[in-house]
Amino acid sequence: MSHWPEPLARAYAACEALARSHYENFPVASRLLPAAMRPHVAAVYAFARIADDIADEGSAPAAERKAQLDAWQQRLHAAVAAEESGCAPLAHENVICVALAHSIRSLDLPIALCDDLLSAFGQDTMTTRYDSWAEVFDYCRRSANPVGRLVLRIAGYRDEALDRSSDALCTALQLTNFWQDFSHDWLIGRLYVPRDVTAACRAREMDLNGPYLNDAWMAAMRQCVDQTRAQFEAGRAVCDGVRGRLRYELRITWLGGMRILDQVERTGAALLGERPTIRKSDLPLLLWRTARWSSQT
């Protein structure tokens, strides 16, 4: 970042600080990534993190949160317009938008992918149930898949096959997060298990008020886990299709996601009261499996 003007360098530094300060299941702009990629990935993450926090601010009315997301989108578009015109950032502009606008301009990133993220976060302020897998996948298409495509563009990849595999991996990670956060989401009134799954399994929402999942809900969650595993398998190709250090970043992300999904399955009926996570003690195993990736089937 030493070649950037000081205000821009500070903007990227703020994005990286935000990325480091938040716990995530999977690495964000980690040391595994090439140094040149890290500031740009951190800018994407910081922009999405703030939008997600706005959407999840439960104390504010939904309409107010949606208006804040619209304003956040307008800030980014204004910063991109200023970047394209060669104007210096205004003092009141958010530094995260300044950094991401520079990444969008300098790396030719599609701003439409950022708009997709915001549309998904906006949906979170209004939608609490999904009728089918098609609806859930459409949400993932906008809430998770854009991040993977942006990372590929930052790395210099523009390949449809890689995009499709990245989409599957990002969808798998998003679904895993849904099942991992099942209890928390239920407490705030959200349920991502599709209604056609719960109907087929005769799983009733009224039965989620006890300490454990009953047999019907266990059957529904098994379907959810199976669907998620299928997405992980479809997302495996992107981990082999990229080169260099990004390959290892994606492999450990894939393995970490599968590790949490395994823990979701093992948690079973206790999922209403427990949140499966990756622990520090899991790291040696994940690194070992990353090193032995080529021998996996």
Tens digit of pLDDT for each residue in 71-115?
Answer: 999 999 999 998 877 665 554 468 999 999 999 999 999 999 999
Average pLDDT over residues 10-28: 78
Tell me what pLDDT residue 86 has. 65
Neighbours of 195 (CB within 10 A): 15
pLDDT at 7: 83
Mean pLDDT of 49-78: 90
At 129, the amino acid letter reads: R
Given a cut of 90, whether residue 128 has pLDDT beyond it is yes
Residue 291's pLDDT is what? 82
pTM of the predicted model, to two decimals? 0.91
Write out the CATH class of domain 128-297: mainly alpha
Cβ-count burial 225-234 (b if 16+ within 10 Å, e if not): bebbbebbeb
**pLDDT tens readout for residues 6-18:** 888 999 999 999 9
CA 278 from centre of chain: 16
Range(s) within the chain of domains with CATH label 1.10.600.10: 128-297
Range in 33-37, 57-61, 151-155, 270-274 with the lowest mean pLDDT? 57-61
Q: What are phi and psi of 251, to 5 degrees?
A: -65, -45
